[in-house]
A and B are shown apart, each in its own frame.
Chain A
Amino acid sequence: MIDFLLPSLGADMDRAKLNLWLVEPGDTVHKGQIIAEVETEKAVLEVECWDEGVIEELLVQPGPEWLSVGTPIARIRALESADTPGPVETPRSPGQKPLPARPPAGRPEPAPPIRHLAHELDVDLSSLQGTGEGGTITRSDVRAAAAPTGKPATAIPISGEQRVKASPRARFLADRLGLDLSDVAATGSGGMVSAADVEAQPVPAREPEDKVAAMRRAIARSMAHSKREIPHYYLATHIDLDEALRWLEIQNAERSVGERILPAALLLKATALGLREIPDLNGHWIDDSFRPSSSIHLGVAVSIREGGLVAPAIHDADQLDLGEMMARLRDLVNRARSWRLRSSEMSDPTMTVTNLGDRGVETAFPVIIPPQVAMVGLGKVVDTVVAVDGSPAVHPVIHATLSADHRVTDGHRGGLFLATIDRLLQEPQSL
């Protein structure tokens, strides 16, 4: 029997509330499966299971109490691997909620916003026939499936309260007005709460739960810790992106809009490969010593529209090709912005990148996220006069900065790292 513990949820995050179970006793679970949803002060996170087995007992019920990281929350009976040579199929109990499934192989994968909408509306994507181009599942398909005249409802609440079906805007408005969505009379198709329903609701039923304020407190703790403890040094360099952006434009000309690669993916890949060459910027400072990481889990700073910031990880970023990097980045940003990150993504970035170029900033001076030991800042791409073979030319140029922990590295290593990123970006086809 294995006790499944509330996992680590990121630096300075040592407690969480259990919002929802996605499994029940008797369910077979596998590695990487999302089994619960928890809420920290910083984000709503999906908890992944790291064991194979059958859920024996749920030790904690959803509720407002804070649970410490490491608290046993479920008991899992390990499967005898010798007895189970193939994938194990256990009969589904009548009330069992289907897993958030992807459509069968051979069909195009729905875009992250569609998967998010399906999750919000409790629609099982694997049961849908897409009407979009090439069988793609569209928003309309998901909304139609949520309606009673469409597919039968696939989700049955198994424990905790049922997630109310609501459009993202309705959820946003309810949050802002401090309304509980379950108190709002739904007039939308399939009992979905629409924005108009929320606006029609007269009096706020409770104090708004201020996710943003909680996130600010978490950022305050982490950043104050960083500035108090970490002796930062800062380096900056200009990187000519003429070659890289020209190459990317050619690549994108042949790609459909959904497969298009943003320059950010290229910059992240170059950074990840740079860490392979200069590994002493990749890891954590714990108990007065540097612990290098053998994997490169690149944190990406994502701003939240309502205010605040999270920096979840793209796992094994150095091993992804550009298309995969873009898909992962897009998925991560979308889930971060809809407060749906996974526990592992918050707990294990080994170095983080902040890209403020989109906001018009030319140069960023990042504050390292403890216990990491470095952070890269990327500014906006600016057309700049540069000398090419002794003559002036106008090229797109980006300002790349490095903040690094002087306890671990010196300026010389940091400088080599920025020079490596520069070199890699001059050969974009090798990224």
Chain B
Amino acid sequence: MTPEQARRVIFEVLADIAPEVDESTVDDHHDLTEQLDLDSMDYLNWMVGINEETGVDIPQRDVSEFLTIAGAVAYLVTHSPEPAGATTGSPGGLAAG
């Protein structure tokens, strides 16, 4: 998954939870719950939505990675399954994942 794809999923799910949020005004590096007035249920729904859309599991210990948009994008890029056919691309098979 590319950062652009991750970002698109993240905001698509967010739009269902907080429809008034305008993507262009969100600071990628600022605490998301504080910035967008999300409560713990909104925040959980957002992670559940991302999990459903991408198949990326978000174990309890990694929840803190999702405090910002930047953190969430980085997590999804690192943890999303490699697309079919791309697994042999990395010399020595040391692709991140």
Which one of A139, A172, A306 lies within 8 Å of B49 (CB-CB)?
A139
Q: Which of A138, A257, A305, A358 has the most CB of B within 10 A?
A: A257
Given the complex, which residues of B lie within 8 Å of A334, measured CB to CB?
41, 45
Indicate if the CB atoms of B16 and A117 lie closer than 8 Å: yes
B19-58 interface bits toward A, Cβ cutoff 8 Å, 1 = contact, 0 = none = 1100000000000000001011100110111011101011
Instruction: Identify whether the interface residues of B are mostly helix, strand, loop, or mixed.
Output: helix
Given the complex, which residues of A lie within 8 Å of B40, measured CB to CB?
262-264, 358
- Given A252-B60, A330-B44, A113 contacting B49 (CB threshold 8 A): yes
A20-54 interface bits toward B, Cβ cutoff 8 Å, 1 = contact, 0 = none = 00000000000000000000000000000000000
Report if A15 contacts B (CB, 8 A): no
Indicate if the CB atoms of B19 and A138 lie closer than 8 Å: no
Q: Which of A330, A334, A358 has the most CB of B within 10 A?
A: A358
Q: Which of A117, A136, A171, A333 has the most CB of B within 10 A?
A: A333
Chain A: interface residue total (CB-CB under 8 A): 39
Roughly how many angstroms separate A330 CA and B39 CA in the complex, as a whole number?
12
Given the complex, which residues of B lie within 8 Å of A139, measured CB to CB?
12-13, 16, 49, 52-53
Given the complex, which residues of A lie within 8 Å of B67, measured CB to CB?
none
| Least Cβ–Cβ distance between B54 and chain A, in angstroms | 9
Given the complex, which residues of A lie within 8 Å of B48, measured CB to CB?
111, 113, 257-258
Question: Which residues of B pack against A, CB within 8 Å?
Answer: 12-13, 15-20, 37, 39-41, 44-45, 47-49, 51-53, 55, 57-61
Question: Which residues of A pack against B, CB within 8 Å?
Answer: 111, 113-114, 116-117, 132-133, 136, 138-140, 167-169, 171-173, 176, 195, 249, 252-253, 255-258, 260, 262-264, 303, 305-306, 329-330, 333-334, 358-359
